[in-house]
Amino acid sequence: MTRNNLTMHQAQEIARLFRDRRAELGLSVRAVASQAGVSPSYVNVLEHAARLAPRPDLLKAVAEALEISSSDLFAIADWLPRRELPSLQPYLRAKYGLGSRDAAEIDDYLTRLQARRGGGSGPVDREDEH
């Protein structure tokens, strides 16, 4: 991770992710800030996409307080090391601009499809290379 600047779109995606997750967990801004070791105003700034150059360590601390994986967060910020893959919903939001509801619907569909086809954790015997 060599840069810490976000585009406005990335900042808005992270803001939406943080707000939605905080509401989902029923946490206040103060509670998240306390868990992350940052000020409530910093959480507010992130939730309103008002900072385009956040410190990665503080951004990660807020994400951890919200139980959001670093991979998901860094995928949105385009800071993800190439070896890691994000989970599907943040990827769909970041890559295709889908809302949380649409991304969740696709994720649910793929989960059902995977169960119907017997699960599996990925390609077998290099089948993805054909």
Mean per-residue pLDDT over the chain, rounded: 83
The reply to whether 1 falls in a domain is no
Predicted pLDDT at 126: 40
Q: Quick check: is 127 in a domain?
A: no
pLDDT digit string, tens, across residues 89-107: 887 887 788 888 898 899 8
Residue 126 lies in a domain: no
pLDDT (mean) for 32-53:
95
Residue 32: give its domain's CATH number: 1.10.260.40
Provide the domain count of the chain.
1
pTM above 0.85, yes or no: no
Calculate what percentage of the chain has a pLDDT beyond 90: 42
- Assess if residue 96 is contained within a domain: yes
Distance CA 110, CA 114 (A): 6
Structural domain includes residue 2: no
